[in-house]
Amino acid sequence: MNLLELRNVTLKFGGVTAVNNLSFSVQKGEVYALVGPNGAGKSTVFNLISRFYKPFAGSIQFDGHDLLQEKPADVAALGVARTFQNNELFEHSTVLQNLLIGRHRHRNTNFLSEVFFTPNARKQELQNRHMVEEIIDFLDLQPYRDKMIAGLPYGVRKVVELGRALATGPNILLLDEPASGLSVEETTDMRWWIDDIRRQMGITVLMVEHDMGLVSNVSDRVLALADGAKLSEGTPAHVQSDPAVIEAYLGGAA
Amino acid sequence: MRIHFKTDYNQDIRIFEDRWTFGVYASLLALAFAMPWIADAFYLGELTNVLIWAVAGLGLMILTGHTGQASLGHAAFLALGCYSYTLLIEAGLPFLLAFPLSGLITGVVGTTIMLPALRLRGIYLAIATMAISILADDIIVLTEPWTGGVSGKFVDPIALFGLQIDRWGTPVAFYYLVLVVTVLVTLGYVNVLRAPLGRAFVAVRDSEVSAQAMGVNIVKTKMMSFALSCAVTGLAGALMGMFSGTFNNETFSVIISVQLLMMIVIGGLGSIHGAFFGAIVIGFLPQFLSIAKEWVGGGAVAIPGLEFGVFGMILMAFILFEPAGIFGRWLKIRTWLELFPFYRKDMFKRKKSFLKTERLQ
């Protein structure tokens, strides 16, 4: 079953075609990776799905909804969570508060019950906290729970961002370079987490990643992009041995 | 140093983190209630003024400190609250209805006025809101039949539970009224901050992109912040009207807007305490200056603009040396005391965090 489907999506910035007539679909329960050289349009595809950009042509369907009819906040409310390539955390809040913001789409109190902090609002807060604590346990973030983001090392921030996306209780998780800037050990952790997210939590994962080791370890299918267009699609092994992909990365034979 | 052994999520939700903190605030409140026996009528009046400014500061803090939207237009909302309260009282409404309604009207009208400005941010929003503040002056003059224009208006004493409360006749009763309003507004503010709405405000302040990706509707959240901010400011405006007894188009000039913004920056942006610290500075600075002038022997000399000059210098000093304001400095002092012999020299050194552009590659 196709959870996410892009059909003939095109996006141009002035004269530059960032995404060119791209079609692909992500199945429920799989890990799908986008690879490609810098500037291939991988992150642009993410920004199209989360509706920060509006495509010139084509359609994006998610779980029976036409995402092009939705606003960015509503896309998130449908259960599309994402992380950012360069960490977009709320700097002046603690790790706990960052994760709690992830619960925002489940808010079922209104303004008045929050001003008076009714028992209902408290119940919701306790529930939110419970969900967040499970994610803290899952990602081993206990030592950082009450630390401000501003003082945290890069590797931890990446994990907090993953946690914040998980806290939304998503149907699909878009990971933009989850392993960039991580050490070898941290990348290994990330690998097992992505595996667990898919197997234990049953969340579909769409990720952009440069680390081919990580990609071939966790993903079911890989899509190689170059200049915004599809180059090759298939299993990691298939894509890695595709002559077109090798040419895009290393250049053609002289 | 107090160590919290947490066994329940409620410990992080409740307002006071432990008994000690509760005790501190309870004794502060008790002191505030005992003030009429401690201070004379003059200082009680000054204290009332400080509390009213604190309420106005809380109003602006919601918008600027927690949602990150600068406003130089809040004097207009003070005026709106003040005039709508006076008109409602003149229409014969009882205080208990007219006062909350003046806040509600300011909230609704303020948000409606600000709708076109919602897309603006930073300096452009500041300019747009400043225009509102300047326009308010002219609008008050133009709508003279209701507002009294340049000659101004008087507000009647408050009739509450058979009492006649007015700032000069019954300063103690008026002080208590303002104190109760301040406490209620502060409690509501604390509640919003520990609920999803408050987190959404902070999310919009720190990263709009990220907030959207978490399902926070930016426009709705900003509108809510404007509405709450204007409503609280409106209440403060109504109190200001009662405090001064008489007001005209110049009472709520753009200078008041600037002063309000400076006040919360000095107090500490992004904290409820900041509004109170800022109000104390702004409320007692004139007294402090006149005492200081007497002390250097120039008591009779009038120095125009002295107050604003000193205020401006204080602001510059804070921006240069303590951007977190008085409250930020207080937190550091408190930590220093709690850790006393173990304080390390670089503990509060401002950490250089990566700029977004530096992080790109």
A66 touches chain B (CB under 8 A): no
CA distance B142 to chain A (A): 36
A88 touches chain B (CB under 8 A): yes
Closest chain A residue to the Cα of B195, Cα to Cα: A114
Cα–Cα distances in angstroms (integers) from residue B96 to residues B83, B92, B93, B99, B100, in the given order: 16, 12, 8, 6, 7
Tell me the sheet residues that pair with A80.
Answer: A172
Q: Tens digit of pLDDT for each residue in A189-233?
A: 999 999 999 999 999 999 999 888 999 999 999 999 988 889 999
How confident is the model at residue B346, as a pLDDT? Answer: 67
Polymer length of chain B:
361
Distance CA A110, CA A131 (A): 20
A137 touches chain B (CB under 8 A): no
CA distance A170 to chain B (A): 10
Q: What is the mean pLDDT of residues B263-291?
A: 90
CA distance B209 to chain A (A): 8
Q: Which of A84, A86, A100 comes nearest B199 by C-beta?
A: A100
Global pTM value: 0.90
CA distance B194 to chain A (A): 8
- Tell me the pLDDT band of B355, cut-offs 50, 70 and 90: very low
**Interchain proximity A101–B200, CB inside 8 Å:** yes
Q: Which of B196, B270, B360 comes nearest A114 by C-beta?
A: B196
**Interchain proximity B196–A109, CB inside 8 Å:** yes
Distance CA A64, CA B328 (A): 49
Distance CA A178, CA A63 (A): 24
A125 touches chain B (CB under 8 A): yes
Domains identified in chain A and CATH numbers = 1-79+170-254 (3.40.50.300), 90-168 (no CATH)
Which residues, at least 6 apart from B286, have a Cβ–Cβ distance to it below 8 Å? Answer: B307
> For chain B, where do the domains classified as CATH 1.10.3470 start and end?
39-342
**Best CA proximity match to A225, nearest among A64, A97, A41:** A41
Closest chain A residue to the Cα of B360, Cα to Cα: A86
Among A90, A118, A127, the strongest candidate for a mutation testing the B interface, having the largest count of B CBs within 10 A, is: A90
Distance CA A82, CA A4 (A): 14
Q: What is the mean pLDDT of residues B161-184?
A: 88
How confident is the model at residue B193, as a pLDDT? Answer: 93
Q: Which residues of A touch B356 (CB under 8 A)?
A: 86
The H or E element containing residue B247 is strand B246-247
**Interchain proximity A52–B199, CB inside 8 Å:** no
- On average, the pLDDT of chain B sits at 87
Q: Tens digit of pLDDT for each residue in B288-347?
A: 888 888 888 766 777 777 888 888 898 889 888 888 888 888 888 888 888 877 777 666
**Interchain proximity B207–A50, CB inside 8 Å:** no
Closest chain B residue to the Cα of A170, Cα to Cα: B214
Among B62, B190, B204, B214, the strongest candidate for a mutation testing the A interface, having the largest count of A CBs within 10 A, is: B214
Strands A16-27 and A2-13: antiparallel
Polymer length of chain A:
254
- Angle between helix B272-296 and B254-267 (nearest 10): 100
Q: Which residues of B touch A89 (CB under 8 A)?
A: 206-207, 210
In the chain, the amino acid numbered A23 is: S
Strands A65-66 and A57-62: antiparallel
**Interchain proximity B191–A150, CB inside 8 Å:** no
- Tell me the pLDDT band of B163, cut-offs 50, 70 and 90: confident
Distance CA A88, CA A66 (A): 26
Phi-psi region for residue A251, left (φ > 0), alpha (ψ -120 to 50) or beta?
Answer: left
How confident is the model at residue A215, as a pLDDT? Answer: 92
**Interchain proximity A105–B215, CB inside 8 Å:** yes
Distance CA A175, CA A80 (A): 11
Among B210, B271, B354, the strongest candidate for a mutation testing the A interface, having the largest count of A CBs within 10 A, is: B210
How confident is the model at residue B347, as a pLDDT? Answer: 67
B351 DSSP assignment: P
* Contact indicator for A121, A113 with CB cutoff of 8 Å: yes
Tell me the sheet residues that pair with A176.
Answer: A208
Angle, alpha carbons B301-B305-B310 (nearest 5°): 100
3-state secondary structure labels for all residues of B144-206:
HHHHCHHHCEECCCEEECCEEECCCCCHHHHHHHHHHHHHHHHHHHHHHHCCHHHHHHHHHHH
Positions of E strands within chain A = 2-13, 16-27, 31-35, 57-62, 65-66, 80-82, 172-176, 204-208, 221-226, 229-234
**Interchain proximity B202–A93, CB inside 8 Å:** yes
Q: What is the mean pLDDT of residues B30-45?
A: 90
Among A52, A88, A89, A174, the strongest candidate for a mutation testing the B interface, having the largest count of B CBs within 10 A, is: A88
**Interchain proximity B199–A84, CB inside 8 Å:** no
Closest chain A residue to the Cα of B68, Cα to Cα: A92
Rg (CA), chain B: 21
CATH (one of 3.20.20, 1.10.10, 1.10.3470, 1.10.8) for B39-342: 1.10.3470
Dihedral (CA of B257, B216, A53, A45) sign: positive
Q: Tens digit of pLDDT for each residue in B50-91?
A: 999 999 999 999 999 999 898 999 999 999 999 999 999 989
CA distance B17 to chain A (A): 14
Distance CA A191, CA A199 (A): 12
The residues in A 163-222 lying below 8 A from B, measured between CB atoms, are 164, 168
Among A50, A70, A74, A107, the strongest candidate for a mutation testing the B interface, having the largest count of B CBs within 10 A, is: A107
Write down the ipTM of this complex: 0.90
Distance CA B57, CA B278 (A): 8
Task: Write out residues in chain A with pLDDT < 70, as ranges.
Answer: 252-254
**Best CA proximity match to B174, nearest among B47, B56, B279:** B47
**Best CA proximity match to A28, nearest among A221, A205, A235, A234:** A205
**Interchain proximity A101–B211, CB inside 8 Å:** yes
